[in-house]
Amino acid sequence: MTNPLDYSGKTVLVIGGTSGIGNGIAHGFRMAGAKVLVTGTRGSAGEYPDSDMEGLAFHSLDVSDRDALDAFEWPETLDVVVLCQGIARYGREEFTREGWDAVMEVNLDSLLDCANATRQKLADTGGSLLIISSIGGYRGLVGNPAYGASKAGAISMVKSLGVAFAAEGIRVNGIAPGYVHTKINDAFLSDEKTQKHIISTTPRGRLGLPEDMAGAALFLASPLADYVVGQTISVDGGLSVAS
C-alpha cells in the first residue's frame, strides 16, 4: 500500500515560499519527499538570512509585475502549486487608493495570474492548486480594509477556480490561517500585550506555526482529499469559532 502523504517524485512550487508560512509549507512538502521550488521578491536565496532555504530551489519573482510574470520560466512539470504571496500595509495606508491597489495586486490579482499560468501544467499531472487566504477574509479588520477584502476575494476565488478547473482534474482548495508570527504582522505581533491577548482568545492557547499550515497543505494536495474541491479550511486554533 502506498503512503498517500508520500510526495516522492512530485514537484511543488510555493509562490511566497521564502518566508513564514510559505517557507514552512515548502519544507513540509520537502520532508514528504517532493522536489520543492520557492519564489520571493529578492534576487537570490542568500538574501534570506532569516529563512531556512536549505533544500529549496529559489527563483526570483515579483507577482505585482505583470511583465515579470509573463517572462517567468515556470517549472516543466507541476504537481502542486501553493499561492502564499501576501502583504499588508499599516498606518491607515490601506484606506488610500495607492495602499489599496498595492495590496490587491499582490494578494488578489496575482492569484488569478498564477492560476492561469500554471493551469495547463497542473492539468497535465492531475495536480492541486492551494490558495492561502486568512480568517481575516471572514472578519472586519479595523485597520486593513484592503487586506480583508483581498482575503475574502481569495476565499471566493478558491470556490470559483475549484468549480472551473475540476473538469481538468485540478483540485483547487485553500487554507485560512489564524495568527502566525511572521514578517507580515511583526508590526503588531511583536507587541507582547497584543500577542498575549490573541493567545488568550485562541482556544488552542497558542499562536499558529508555519508547520500547522503545512499539515493542512499536505492533506489537501494528497489523495486523502481527492473529493475535496473549492474548500478553504481555517487553521486557526479555533479562534474564528470562539465567541
Ligand X SMILES: NC(=O)c1ccc[n+]([C@@H]2O[C@H](COP(=O)([O-])OP(=O)(O)OC[C@H]3O[C@@H](n4cnc5c(N)ncnc54)[C@H](OP(=O)(O)O)[C@@H]3O)[C@@H](O)[C@H]2O)c1
174 binds ligand X (CB under 6 A): no
Binding of ligand X at residue 183 (CB under 6 A)?
Answer: yes
State the Cα–Cα distance between residues 157 and 108, nearest whole angstrom.
9
Is residue 147 annotated as part of the catalytic site, yes or no? yes
With binding defined as CB under 6 A, does residue 79 bind ligand X?
A: no
Contact between 177 and ligand X per CB under 6 A: yes
Candidates 156-164, 173-181, 191-199, 217-225; binding stretch for ligand X (CB under 6 A)? 173-181
C-alpha count within 13 angstroms, C-beta hemisphere, residue 206: 4
Determine the size of the site formed for ligand X (CB under 6 A). 27
CB of 4 to ligand X, least distance (A): 25
Nearest approach in angstroms of CB 186 to ligand X is 8
Among residues 13 and 61, whose Cβ is nearest to ligand X?
61
Q: Which amino acid is at 218?
A: L
Quick one: which of 7, 11, 12, 19 contacts ligand X (CB under 6 A)?
19
Is residue 137 within the footprint of ligand X (CB under 6 A)?
Answer: no
Other residues' Cβ atoms within 10 Å of the Cβ of residue 242? 11
Rule CB under 6 A: say whether 22 interacts with ligand X. Answer: yes
Segment near ligand X (CB under 6 A), from 1-9, 38-46, 92-100, 221-229?
Answer: 38-46
Least distance (Å) between residue 243 CB and ligand X = 21
Q: Is 62 in the site for ligand X (CB under 6 A)?
A: yes
Q: How far is the CB of 182 from ligand X (least distance, A)?
A: 3
C-alpha separations of 50 from 29, 31, 214 in Å = 20, 20, 19
Binding ligand X (rule: CB under 6 A), the pick from 56, 84, 111, 115 is: 84
Nearest CA among 164, 57, 150, 68 for reference residue 111: 150
Q: How far is residue 219's CA from residue 5's CA, in Å, rounded to a whole number?
A: 7
From the list 130, 159, 146, the residue with the least C-alpha distance to 225 is 130
185 binds ligand X (CB under 6 A): yes
Q: Which is nearer to ligand X, 34 or 130 (CB)?
A: 130
In sequence order, what DSSP letters do the residues of 113-154 get, joined into one string?
HHHHHHHHHHHHHT-EEEEE--GGGGS--TT-HHHHHHHHHH
Q: What is the 3-state secondary structure (H, E, C) of 10-63?
A: CEEEEECCCCHHHHHHHHHHHHCCCEEEEEECCCCHHHCCCCCCCCCEEEECCC
Residues that bind ligand X (CB under 6 A): 16, 18-22, 40-42, 61-64, 84-87, 106, 132, 134, 177, 179-180, 182-185
Which residues are catalytic, by number?
147
